[in-house]
Structure 1
Amino acid sequence: MVEKNAVVILGATATGKTACAVAIARRFSGEIISADSRQVYRGLDLGSGKDLGEYGEIPYHLVDVVSLPDEYSVYQFQKDFYAVFDDIASRNVLPVIAGGTGMYLDAVIRGYRFRDVPENPALRSELAPYSLEALRDRLLKRKKEIHNRTDLEIRERLVRAIEIAESPGDEEPAPIHLAPVILGIRFPREELRRRIRIRLEARIDEGMIDEVAGIHAAGISWERLERLGLEYRFTAEYLQGKIPSREDYVSQLYTAICQFAKRQETWFRGMERKGVDITWIENGDLAAAVSYAEKFF
């Protein structure tokens, strides 16, 4: 049996991943590494579900590491993750990775290979007249497997993806060997929807709309907020009057979060089909999660 060197807690939104990670980190005196594409941003608190109060005395990493309007990519996450993981492991502490951003998790579990490619001004000038469809065609001719489908929808990301795909050189090897115990938290569909509704209403009551309004007032464009998706997209649209009523806003956002949870579950099933071994913990049973981890640490 391969010796395990980390625990991963994954699952759809509103499944209680943070609580599970905290329980395991507390049991084994571990430290938590967040794998969430929006919690990396300072100021995205209620909408991203940081719930920092849940961590208590447990050290955590890769939360609040970048500021808007900067972009943060899966490549940057992987680099930052490796640095944090190496630091935690060097102190003989157990890393507990928790999050629901499937691509971030897959990038470190399966060790995506990336390259640090500089900008190519000549290529960018050549691509400037291209339509989105022409850019997509060019990228897909060079790269059949696209980890991040957003690369096909946003012009800046398409250009960058082409820049990387067409650059010479070898992909960087993964600098660490991650051999984690992977626990997935799941609930029956109707129960998950109930949890999503309760959490959404709580976040709105706690001031999520004011949070988004404040971020925009600080100079972040509506367009940038909308690109963050879900809570930030729908709240930005509501504040601009694109969604006519609060009732419509809550209803549309709730539906979108439920659809997102379904996509997360599909992504995790895809990881399993690619050989990732996930042990599923039913109904957020923290005792069962800790008990299973005790078999390895």
Structure 2
Amino acid sequence: MPGPVACIVGPTASGKSALAELVAAKLDSEVISVDAMQVYLGMDIGTAKTPAHERRVPLRMVDVANPTESFSVSLFQTQARACVDELLSAGRTPVLCGGTGLYLNAVIDDMSFPSGEKDGELRASYERQLEELGPQGLHDLLASRDPRSAELIHPNNSRRVVRALEMLDEGVSYAQHHEGLHRRKARYDARIWGLTMDRERLYARIDARVDKMVRDGLVDEVRALAQQGLTSDHTAGQAIGYKEILDALSGELSLDEAIELIKRRSRRYAKRQLSWFRHDGRVQWINLDELDLEQAMERIADDLSGGARA
């Protein structure tokens, strides 16, 4: 098995990007983002993408898709693995960094995904049924065909209901696929470090980062994307920070309401991220209440070289 591959994960606003850059610089390598929303061009402030002029090392798998186009986890898997393999072939240690657990697992583990084609007649057919039946009616249709999958999906999550129906037509049950995500067979020698800290400190960091995003021009960034055609119907338009500002720009929320909603949803997302990574027994946790980023970097470097852990 080739490797090792260093992976730095954790909740939003925990300091992953800064630590990954330190590790990659120490290893004379590069960072590969495993963030479902950093793939989109022009979505910089709201995804906390490290600005190009501030990057100490190359950052891969960002700006690879337009926000109004579909970009599946299957596409991400193919492209990110090509980056990993290129670095390994050159004798370098790839540093994967991000908080999207599914995208990380898609790269480092043997996982296969349905095609996910979004523009075919099948998708159009179910979207027409959604308009005719409404969210509950379409969910009832899924429940009649695949009760187990319907139990896992909220009736208002129409996007996922449509996808589950598509998967059935492709011969795949959403419920069975969902269960399979947690049965992992490693593709690479992945070493995973997860960042954690006091929950209240993390929430304070999240709130402060949202405020900084707004000061740095998040509203103008979303406005520009909206002018280019981005709406809440696009996957990118569902991203935390973008959906809420889109709603504010359309008059559904005040800006203050949108900002508070971004903070609340970001905190909830952080809890889900921690839950996902805690189910992976490979993760070695680093408490940033006990170590600073430099010390964390040295610990990871020591672990990768087989040295004693600090």
**TM-score, normalized by length of structure 1?**
0.83
Distance change (3 Å), C-alpha of 1:251 and 1:107: same
Matched residues, percent identical?
27
Query: Matches of 2:253 and 2:269 in 1, distance apart?
Result: 20
Please report how far the alpha carbon of residue 142 of structure 1 lies from its aligned counterpart in structure 2 after TM superposition: 8.5
Please tell me whether the aligned partners of residues 41 and 65 of structure 2 are also in contact (alpha carbons under 8 angstroms).
Answer: yes
Please tell me whether the aligned partners of residues 117 and 164 of structure 1 are also in contact (alpha carbons under 8 angstroms).
Answer: no
Q: Which residue of the partner structure matches residue 201 of structure 1?
A: 211
Please tell me whether the aligned partners of residues 143 and 150 of structure 2 are also in contact (alpha carbons under 8 angstroms).
Answer: no
Query: Matches of 2:274 and 2:8 in 1, distance apart?
Result: 14
Please report how far the alpha carbon of residue 28 of structure 1 lies from its aligned counterpart in structure 2 after TM superposition: 0.7
Please tell me whether the aligned partners of residues 109 and 186 of structure 2 are also in contact (alpha carbons under 8 angstroms).
Answer: no
Over residues 87-120 of structure 1, what are the superposed CA-to-partner deviations in whole Å (9 max), with x where a residue is unaligned? Answer: 1111111100000011111223332223558798
Please report how far the alpha carbon of residue 222 of structure 1 lies from its aligned counterpart in structure 2 after TM superposition: 4.3
Please tell me whether the aligned partners of residues 35 and 97 of structure 1 are also in contact (alpha carbons under 8 angstroms).
Answer: yes
Query: Matches of 1:125 and 1:32 in 2, distance apart?
Result: 40
Q: Partner of 2:263: helix, strand, or coil?
A: helix
Please tell me whether the aligned partners of residues 108 and 186 of structure 2 are also in contact (alpha carbons under 8 angstroms).
Answer: no
Q: Does 1:153 align with 2:163?
A: no
Q: Does 1:132 align with 2:138?
A: yes
Aligned equivalent of 1:238, options 220, 226, 248: 248
Please report how far the alpha carbon of residue 224 of structure 1 lies from its aligned counterpart in structure 2 after TM superposition: 2.7
Q: How does 1:132-281 map to 2 (within 5 A)?
A: 132-137=138-143, 140=146, 153-154=158-159, 156-166=162-172, 177-224=187-234, 227-244=237-254, 246-270=255-279, 272=280, 276-281=281-286
* Letter of the 1:285 counterpart: D
Query: Matches of 2:220 and 2:65 in 1, distance apart?
Result: 21
Greater Cα shift, 248-257 or 90-99: 248-257
Query: Matches of 2:126 and 2:259 in 1, distance apart?
Result: 44
Greater Cα shift, 131-140 or 214-223: 131-140
Please report how far the alpha carbon of residue 128 of structure 1 lies from its aligned counterpart in structure 2 after TM superposition: 6.1
Query: Matches of 2:82 and 2:149 in 1, distance apart?
Result: 28
Q: Which residue of the partner structure matches residue 52 of structure 1?
A: 51
**TM-score, normalized by length of structure 2?**
0.79
Q: How does 1:107-126 map to 2 (within 5 A)?
A: 107-114=106-113, 116=115
Query: Matches of 1:289 and 1:194 in 2, distance apart?
Result: 21
Aligned equivalent of 1:295, options 284, 298, 303: 303
Greater Cα shift, 123-132 or 16-25: 123-132
Query: Matches of 1:181 and 1:229 in 2, distance apart?
Result: 28
Please tell me whether the aligned partners of residues 3 and 88 of structure 2 are also in contact (alpha carbons under 8 angstroms).
Answer: no
Please tell me whether the aligned partners of residues 3 and 179 of structure 1 are also in contact (alpha carbons under 8 angstroms).
Answer: yes
Distance change (3 Å), C-alpha of 1:139 and 1:193: farther
Please tell me whether the aligned partners of residues 136 and 152 of structure 1 are also in contact (alpha carbons under 8 angstroms).
Answer: no
* Letter of the 1:26 counterpart: A
Q: Partner of 1:192: helix, strand, or coil?
A: helix
Unaligned runs of 5+ in 2: 174-179, 306-310
* Letter of the 2:264 counterpart: T
* Letter of the 2:168 counterpart: I
Please tell me whether the aligned partners of residues 226 and 234 of structure 1 are also in contact (alpha carbons under 8 angstroms).
Answer: no
Q: Which residue of the partner structure matches residue 105 of structure 1?
A: 104
Please report how far the alpha carbon of residue 289 of structure 1 lies from its aligned counterpart in structure 2 after TM superposition: 2.5
Unaligned runs of 5+ in 1: none
Greater Cα shift, 69-78 or 28-37: 69-78
* Letter of the 1:184 counterpart: G
Distance change (3 Å), C-alpha of 1:216 and 1:7: same
Distance change (3 Å), C-alpha of 1:204 and 1:127: closer
Q: Partner of 1:203: helix, strand, or coil?
A: helix
